[in-house]
Chains A and B, each alone.
Chain A
Amino acid sequence: MRLKKYLNIRWIASIMVMCALLVNAIPLSAQLADTSSTTASSSAGVNEGAADSSALKSASSEPLISTVVDTAASAKLIADFKPEKDFGPLYKSASYYVLLFFLVCVFIAIIGKVLRVYELSGELQGKKTKSYWQNVQGILFIVVLIAGLYGVYWSYTVQGAMSMTIAASEHGEKIDTMFYVTLVITTIVFILTHILLFGFSFKYRGSDTRKAYFYPHNNAVERLWTIIPAITLTVLVVFGFITWRSITNVPKEEQDKALKVEVVGEQFKWNIRYSGTDNIIGKRNFTLITPTNGLGIDYKDPKSWDDKLAGEIVLPVNKPVRVAVGSKDILHSFYIPDFRVQINAVPGMPTSFQFTPKYTTQQMRDKLNDPTFNYLLLCAKICGAGHYNMQAKVTVLSEDEYKAWEAKLPLFYNDDVKKQLQVAQQKMSSENNKVTLITKNNR
């Protein structure tokens, strides 16, 4: 290894340590002085950005029925984006952490050296240190096993309790049963195998006096532990298959009976449309999308005339709902964890999910003893910078309350809109033609 001459690690390392220490010491004061100016400029920048996005947001949501939720959200966006003013302590603490890490390294190095010396002196006296370390590992496995089992118990009870929500839909309860069955089986396997794994590691840790047991195979045992998992999994598969089919394979007449709602995703919000008196959602065509007609509803289709747009999802309790999910731009995912409902929103391919809410929002609030609880629709498919905040409120009401709410929704297709649409469509179509021409030429 000729390289060795040029790469003397000891040298490099000590230089690095020195540099790090210097870096820690010197620039600290300089940066402390600097921070006030950076803060000012950057906070301005961020605020501008936030203002921009909120402007964008309200602009794009204007044509739809604007909701309280929307503006509140954008206000929150601004508030949240305010950066903290005082960077000084942060710089300081960062450099402390770096220093701390170096100290730990040095500490470990010293311990290593001490151990080395101890071992060498031991070897001189003819003691064996090798088996000492073997025993340490074996014992650590037992310690980790016990601590780990307790940790599992702790997180099942504490974090498990945090994560176990009430399934608020009919099929959701089936899913939860399925989940618990799987959880019990897997937890048993998990614990048993780990006891064996770590227990064997401890019990059979090496010694010079013993020889391992030559045991290359045992076909009967192997057959057994092929068949048992196979049977268990078959049970789970059958059970799962039935549950899955019962959720996704809804008979035609059930489908027709369900309340139809359409939810269309776009960066980064959900557009909600109710099907009106005919319970049929009117056609949509992406080429008709204009600022006024954000969904591209096709008003040549009479079924769309009674459709209503809403700012949030409101559903009647104990009535099946069939949500038609779509997307205007890219993939999104329609996800309401409380209902155990998820289906992707795919541009160019309508999808749907049918479910039946079991509890009204109020009932859930009572159950959870949380007066601020709301069902929430989230987006679960990566869709860009605003993915983490693409939400819509979902409210479940009693049947009567729902009817009253629905009746109050204004028709989108009123005379005003008709006129606006005509004008807009003419303008847009000519513009669009231009745009496509230009892009075509560019290509």
Chain B
Amino acid sequence: MASTAIHDTAVLTHHDHGHEHGHHKETFITKYIFSQDHKMIAKQFLITGIIMAVIAMFLSVLFRLQLGWPDKNFPILETFLGKWAEGGRIRPDFYLALVTIHGTMMVFFVLTAGLSGTFSNLLIPLQLGARDMASPFLNMLSYWFFFTACMIMMGSFFVQTGPASAGWTIYPPLSAIPKAIPGSGLGMTLWLISMILFVASSLMGALNYISTVLNMRTKGMDMWRMPLTIWAFFLTAILGVLSFPVLVSGVVLLIFDRSFGTSFYLSDIVVQGEVLPNQGGSPILWQHLFWFLGHPEVYIVIMPALGITSEVIATNSRKPIFGYHAMVYSLIGITILSFIVWGHHMFITGMNPFLGGVFMITTLIIAVPSAVKTFNYLATLWRGNIRFTPAMLFAIGLVSFFISGGLTGIFLGNAALDINLHDTYFVVAHFHLVMGSAAIFGMLCGVYHWFPKMFGRLMDEKLGYLHFWLTFIGAYLVFFPMHFMGLDGVPRRYYAFTEFEFMKEWLTVNTFISWAAIISALAQVAFLWNFFYSIFYGKKSSQNPWESNTMEWTAPVEHLHGNWPGEIPTVYRWPYDYSKPGHDDDFIPQTVPFSQTMSSNLPHDFEGNAESERIQQEWDSKYAADKVEQGIN
């Protein structure tokens, strides 16, 4: 498992302050609202994320109605959308607003805050053996900034000109000029403000995660004994810290262009007969700044999901994760490489084609660590003893989506092929498989797996099964056909496919996709019911319901401020000693010392510590002798 012991910086923080905290009188406000406890903050992130996901999903159903039945009216829509759906039909510019807000919410609020925010907060202290985050106060602020960002984004539905509608990538000049589209008025201003708050929130979160991981590990928890979840959260946080500020700089320049007459992104523009004075800017600059964040962002979204899956697959296959070191190195590889591939979103912007070629090389390199991870998952399943908890099903689903989406990425990463695929439904299919499906499955997987840790109760398994199969099949039915539309040259962000002759053959396919989408959306009711019902009425959970090795399951079910009563347990081994030969149980928690598992210790467990090896050898020979004796008697 491990490189030579890494310094126990964590030891210093282990004074016993868990007890003091227990005596504080907590009010409703400090416990549920402005809580500084990482577990409560995790729950806040999770529930806000779920609500945002439901809203964003609802928006997607609205625009799927339009795409599936472009010539039908849905008078109900007019009832609650008013002028945006006059006559029961969504207006083209409002359609774009729906797509924009759907994308923004899903990518940033659900899959960044809802995923990293929830599980980093919950698991980093618990799996590393810390009492709380490095800065609980900053942690609380992080949530409230996020909450405010959500509210502002939602608020943009209530302004006269509607929400931002330039796509989730808000490319200027469209996003800079209110005359070009109504959503670029106040709606866009709100989008930008919301995004700045959101970035502030993620930065506070990420800095906290990094410092907690680096400084607050319990005794014995060196870096190479951290579960893969923690590695993933840690590297994700590093990605976020390095890339999110670039988005802010881009956003600030855009605000300047919009409100103060600068020309960072604008040049040579005549909108509806009005010659704008701006000169010398470049819309391409925005794309560089945006995608410098944007590509790391997609890995910010998928890496925690992969981390969660690693943990869940190992636990439920009752096997060590295959190639722990390779898994960590691929995560590190992905982290580094994801900073030098952003140009693959810009192959055909008119950027120097040679540069495009270079980005194509780096992009296809990043597929290698992704492939390694996939194969390692498969090898972990091989000869396992698989327990199909709902979490495990979602983890397997994630692997499937990650394979499919990763493979279509290979098409898109090839600049020559991207000429014909860029901005078509092929791209939509690609990123919904990797992000809309794989990462969401990672999140659901985490929710099912750590629900007992969060709420002390179990979710219903059978509803979980139903939820999984409907969603898994539904997602493929929705996104698989989109590849073919894209190959035929159907562009994305089209309000209707009725205006081009060659797109008409896809109308029935779109109706089918819409039905599949609606059914998958309804299947989420099974989850929502299960989740909220089980919080209050679920079966009480035992302390370690999945018989898992990681440290969070050594903490009592009842939530304590400070996580462990008394001293924090010490860690003696890596987190993946499942089904170790010679041991009775098929799991050995990280907190069990080798001295208690003499029958199952392996030579390399001691990392070259001569004294331990000698003791083990002595024990082994004695044990062998005993056996022989018994045999004789």
Q: Is the Cβ of B411 less than 8 Å from the Cβ of A222? A: no
Q: Mark interface residues in B373-400 (1 if CB within 8 Å of A CB, else 0).
A: 0111111011111111000010010011
Q: Chain B residues with Cβ under 8 A from A387's Cβ?
A: 92, 96, 493-495
| Interchain CA distance A350-B537 in the complex, whole Å | 64
Q: Mark interface residues in B350-392 (1 if CB within 8 Å of A CB, else 0).
A: 1001101100110011011001101111110111111110000
Residue in contact with B73 in the complex, picked from A84, A218, A439, CB distance below 8 Å: A84
Q: Mark interface residues in B271-289 (1 if CB within 8 Å of A CB, else 0).
A: 1111101011111100000
- Which of B136-144, B318-326, B437-445 touches A? B318-326
Tell me the minimal C-beta distance from A327 to chain B in angstroms.
Answer: 8
| Interchain CA distance A149-B497 in the complex, whole Å | 29
| Interchain CA distance A3-B501 in the complex, whole Å | 58
Most buried by A among B177, B325, B496, B536: B536
Q: Chain B residues with Cβ under 8 A from A186's Cβ?
A: 407-408, 410-411
User: Chain B residue with minimal CB distance to A165?
Assistant: B488
**Residue B195, interface by CB 8 Å:** no
Q: Is the Cβ of A217 less than 8 Å from the Cβ of B325? A: yes
Tell me the minimal C-beta distance from B579 to chain A in angstroms.
Answer: 4
Q: Is the Cβ of A337 less than 8 Å from the Cβ of B283? A: no
Q: Chain A residues with Cβ under 8 A from B322's Cβ?
A: 215-218
Q: Is the Cβ of A388 less than 8 Å from the Cβ of B494? A: yes
Q: Is the Cβ of A162 less than 8 Å from the Cβ of B462? A: no
Q: Is the Cβ of A289 less than 8 Å from the Cβ of B275? A: yes
In the complex with contacts A348-B281, A349-B284, A378-B491, A207-B385 CB distance below 8 A: yes
**Residue B610, interface by CB 8 Å:** no
Tell me the minimal C-beta distance from B281 to chain A in angstroms.
Answer: 7
Q: Is the Cβ of B361 less than 8 Å from the Cβ of A237? A: yes
**Residue B461, interface by CB 8 Å:** yes
| Interchain CA distance A35-B88 in the complex, whole Å | 11
Q: Is the Cβ of A342 less than 8 Å from the Cβ of B419? A: yes
Q: Is the Cβ of A372 less than 8 Å from the Cβ of B348? A: no
In the complex with contacts A337-B488, A347-B173, A388-B92, A90-B73 CB distance below 8 A: yes
Q: Which of A198-221 contact B (CB under 8 A)?
A: 198, 200-201, 204-207, 210-218, 221
In the complex with contacts A348-B281, A348-B283, A237-B502 CB distance below 8 A: no
Residue in contact with A221 in the complex, picked from B167, B379, B393, B485, CB distance below 8 Å: B379
Q: Chain A residues with Cβ under 8 A from B498's Cβ?
A: 80
Size bracket of the B interface: 35 or more
Q: Chain B residues with Cβ under 8 A from A183's Cβ?
A: 411
**Residue A101, interface by CB 8 Å:** yes
Tell me the minimal C-beta distance from B321 to chain A in angstroms.
Answer: 8
Q: Is the Cβ of B371 less than 8 Å from the Cβ of A331? A: no
| Interchain CA distance A55-B177 in the complex, whole Å | 23
| Interchain CA distance A1-B32 in the complex, whole Å | 11
Tell me the minimal C-beta distance from A215 to chain B in angstroms.
Answer: 7
Q: Chain A residues with Cβ under 8 A from B497's Cβ?
A: 388
In the complex with contacts A160-B484, A190-B404, A212-B319, A383-B174 CB distance below 8 A: yes
In the complex with contacts A331-B174, A388-B496, A200-B374 CB distance below 8 A: no
Q: Is the Cβ of B367 less than 8 Å from the Cβ of A233? A: yes
Q: Is the Cβ of B171 less than 8 Å from the Cβ of A435? A: no
Residue in contact with B89 in the complex, picked from A83, A137, A221, A335, CB distance below 8 Å: A83
**Residue A68, interface by CB 8 Å:** no
Q: Is the Cβ of A335 less than 8 Å from the Cβ of B491? A: yes
Q: Is the Cβ of A205 less than 8 Å from the Cβ of B350? A: no
Tell me the minimal C-beta distance from A143 to chain B in angstroms.
Answer: 10
Most buried by B among A335, A346, A347: A347
Tell me the minimal C-beta distance from A245 to chain B in angstroms.
Answer: 6
| Interchain CA distance A229-B277 in the complex, whole Å | 52
| Interchain CA distance A140-B171 in the complex, whole Å | 44
Residue in contact with A214 in the complex, picked from B396, B492, B581, CB distance below 8 Å: B581
Q: Mark interface residues in B50-64 (1 if CB within 8 Å of A CB, else 0).
A: 000000000000000
Q: Is the Cβ of B326 less than 8 Å from the Cβ of A385? A: no
| Interchain CA distance A226-B473 in the complex, whole Å | 30
